[in-house]
Amino acid sequence: MTSTTSVPVQCVDRTVPSDTLGMTLFHEHIFTDNRRRAPRPDPTVEDACEVWASPMDARLAAHLRDNPMACEDNCVLEDVDVAIDELGYFVRAGGRTVIEQTPIGAGRRLADLATVAAATGLNIVAGTGFYMEVMHPEALSTISDREITDRMLNDLTTGQDGVRCGLIGEIGVSADFSAAERRVLQAAGRAHVETGVPVSVHLPGWHRLGHQVLDSLQAEGVPAEAVVLSHMNPSVEDSDYQLSLAERGAYLSFDMIGIDWYFSHTGFQSPSDVQVAGAVLGLWEAGFGAQILLSGDTFLKMQLRRYGGPGYDHVPRRFASRLQRVGLEAHDVGALLARNPARVFETAARSVRSSAGGMASGPEG
């Protein structure tokens, strides 16, 4: 029996009530291809060229922690059988739902997602939209703003080969926040207004563009409570920034759990899980626990269990207990993993209904 707040959530192979999503990883990739945005090695540096050309192997793991995109093969997730096996760890940890946010042009494979859903029993929600400009398909610059919106609407309402998407995102925003990216973000906003589906945005986490994103979407009629701001982990030491975004009603996605790497091509260091847990606790104690989402953003082979990575089960098996060690109760952690993901879809749908008949309401407590 569904609750009065429950709304339908479109998965790749079925529609389910939001209050049955259960334990959810809100920002993951099952199939993706990041080779286009990976920096190529200096051809005069033999060791770097050798690593780039090597098949991914657990023996590369230590090296890749300081340069995760240095191996071309590491940048691709494309094997159906591997995906089924790796997601099995999450299922055995009690997992029920995965929000798969691979955008158009970044290795998205909707039919294969349906195969994985059938094999694992997971609810898999696929995303629609376009990533950062460096990953935009060439044809994107030749079509109208309305055609960009219509492409997303088609994924949400008709689908491909019977496979429909249930999320708008992840919509890519780079540090430059280019005109092309703003155009896509605005198109995503219009798709939300027409469907009530939430919008998930890739933020350049080491920069502070969250308010610009919310302002751009608000101009299209999208309230903050219909927006998920991804990659909040890098800003864990800037509590003022995170609190200011939460105060506007946006959902804050801490979706780089287990990613404590150094990105040598950008000079950025990801925070540890200890630091992330502290930031989550701070937001919880400030009264914004209902707006926190958790995930691992699996996008490289090195994150899979077979290569020595934390795996899709890292959040429920290890990070959840870390949250309890810093002060959250077990039922609070359960709410972060199950109730909050459902709330995203409910508040997004409600915001469209409310704007049609009055003022939109924010996330529930």
**DSSP letter string over 178-206?**
-HHHHHHHHHHHHHHHHH---EEEE--TT
Q: Does 225 carry a binding-site annotation? A: no
Q: Does 192 carry a binding-site annotation? A: no
In a domain, 34, yes or no: yes
Q: Which residues pair with 172 in a beta bridge?
A: 202
By CB neighbour count within 10 A (0-12 exposed, 13-18 middle, 19+ buried), where does 107 fall?
buried
Tell me, what's the pLDDT at 265? 83
Q: Does 170 carry a binding-site annotation? A: yes
In a domain, 26, yes or no: yes
Tell me, what's the pLDDT at 362? 36
Number of domains in the chain: 1
In a domain, 362, yes or no: no
24, 94 contact by CB (below 8 A): no
Residue at token pair 């209050």: 19
Q: What's the DSSP call for residue 14?
A: -
The structure tokens listed for 294 are 């958790």
In a domain, 359, yes or no: no
Tell me, what's the pLDDT at 354? 67
329, 284 contact by CB (below 8 A): no
In a domain, 280, yes or no: yes
Give 248's contacts (C-beta < 8 A, 6+ positions apart): 211, 214, 224
Tell me, what's the pLDDT at 118? 98
Residues of the chain with pLDDT under 50: 1, 357-365
Q: Does 29 carry a binding-site annotation? A: yes
Tell me, what's the pLDDT at 299? 98
Write out the residue range of the structural domain in which residue 177 sits.
Answer: 8-352
In 3D, which of 316, 337, 360, 354 has the Cα closest to residue 253?
337
Q: Does 297 carry a binding-site annotation? A: yes
In whole angstroms, what is the distance from residue 344 CA to residue 153 CA?
19
Q: Does 231 carry a binding-site annotation? A: yes
In whole angstroms, what is the distance from residue 350 CA to residue 196 CA?
7
Tell me, what's the pLDDT at 358? 36
pTM of the model: 0.94
Q: How many CB atoms lie within 10 A of CB 161?
A: 7
The structure tokens listed for 44 are 């005069």
The structure tokens listed for 185 are 């973000």
CATH number at residue 74: 3.20.20.140
E strand residue ranges, the chain: 8-10, 15-17, 24-28, 32-33, 76-77, 97-100, 123-128, 167-172, 199-202, 227-229, 251-254, 262-263, 268-269, 292-294
In a domain, 121, yes or no: yes
Tell me, what's the pLDDT at 266? 87
In a domain, 365, yes or no: no
